[in-house]
Structure 1
């Protein structure tokens, strides 16, 4: 795979309102299938999600899952089980979800490289708005991943989690950027991870505005689009 994370010189930008936790995920799969059938151009979909705890497949098989799901509901977050990704992740309307969907003849071939390429692209977007951001897992983070994006401060905090769904003929790369109001996310993760008996360090759950006070979702969304557009112009 080349240094450019997609093959087309054009990218459709869609700012999409949230339809609810389950409907938002279903919409992503709908767009992925449309891309695979040639009905959707390379697309960047951005939206502010409904408060959700997205559990991984492994979480759903743990003895404490029902308790964890109830804890999420009690905290005002809708629990759901996602197809892609690892452990439980929480997000709300202070977050930005970025879905990059694209048709590809061999979507599996470049799947690992996309994590690094697109993780670095999102870190660059955060750096443009003043966040000292880097790519890489930090010890004790929730939903740990090799290509998480974290913010560097007195304590390193996870700011972006990424996941990927690949089907025959297309891929969907989904990123959750935590921009505002980290406290409810940290609180619901403490409850759900305790129910699942999973160890983690709550200090790693933060938001970009913990590091750059006053930062907003709209500002970060503009930075993400600008970074993508720079890559398109260079293609």
Structure 2
């Protein structure tokens, strides 16, 4: 069970805040938690969050030759666009996508990057074990933001995992397409890349998105999942792996350092998107 076993897990559920909670605040929050958990000022923390109609770009996406036109297209479809500070490429966030961040302290030996990914994989597998469906980790060619830890059932991707490391803290982050259409989300990103590349050759190879290789858990498991369903599954598993599970907001230390981390995210986005 490894890293999922913690003396205590603090749960920070920000999934119900809705449109008043912006994605830049989210990335500032995870950096804050990496600092506090990594420095021993807070216990291991599981944070859940949802953002409405937001496209999160990776750093490589900002080098697309016709990026402005691509962002304009996404804005016209009703999506705001931000650039994240962890790896990967463009992903879709909306009310049918639940994000989970596990913020863990680095031990003296450090946490190997694959061990961080495997911890999240174990958590997701345990949350849906009753369905007896094989959840596999491995790149799904044709998906958006492809990576070696794409999670899929029957070769259809429903989640992707990334990591952020800061101040001896590790944030392992996953987006779970819970309900809605995986195909429609993928079609949106496909069009974004087509507009942003404008047929030009690029040094970096951007994904050739094939909408049919992506789906939601509701589509794959044949069950109308709600966010409450998934939250309950998450809490039940964390309870298994801890002696003490509790809900808690920022502590005083985190309240003090959050504005600085948030401001860095804002400034990075202003610099990249306006350049």
Q: More deviation in 57-66 or 112-121? A: 112-121
Q: CA deviation at 1:71?
A: 2.0
Q: CA deviation at 1:107?
A: 7.9
Q: CA deviation at 1:143?
A: 0.5
* CA distances 1:105-155 after superposition (whole Å, capped 9, x unpaired): 458542222112322321332344676532222222211111111122xxx
1:228 matched to 2:238? The reply is yes
Residues 105 and 124 (structure 1 numbering): CA distance in 2 closer, same or farther, change over 3 Å? closer
> Which residue, out of 204, 209, 224, partners 2:218?
209
Does the aligned pair in 2 maintain the 1:137–1:145 contact within 8 Å? yes
Q: More deviation in 217-226 or 163-172? A: 217-226
Q: CA deviation at 1:165?
A: 0.5
- Looking at CA atoms only, which structure, 1 or 2, has the larger radius of gyration? 2
- Mapped to 2, the partners of 1:191 and 1:106 lie a distance apart of 45
Does the aligned pair in 1 maintain the 2:139–2:149 contact within 8 Å? yes
Specify every segment of 5 or more residues in structure 2 that has no aligned partner in the other structure, as ranges. 198-205, 244-275
- Mapped to 1, the partners of 2:64 and 2:42 lie a distance apart of 37
Partner residue of 2:229?
219
Counterpart secondary structure, 1:10: strand
Give the TM-score, by structure 1 length.
Answer: 0.87
Larger RCO of the pair (alpha carbons < 8 Å, separation 6+): 2
Specify every segment of 5 or more residues in structure 1 that has no aligned partner in the other structure, as ranges. none
Q: CA deviation at 1:95?
A: 1.1
Q: CA deviation at 1:21?
A: 1.9
Counterpart secondary structure, 2:12: strand
Counterpart secondary structure, 1:99: strand
Partner residue of 1:173?
172
> Which residue, out of 83, 86, 111, partners 2:85?
83
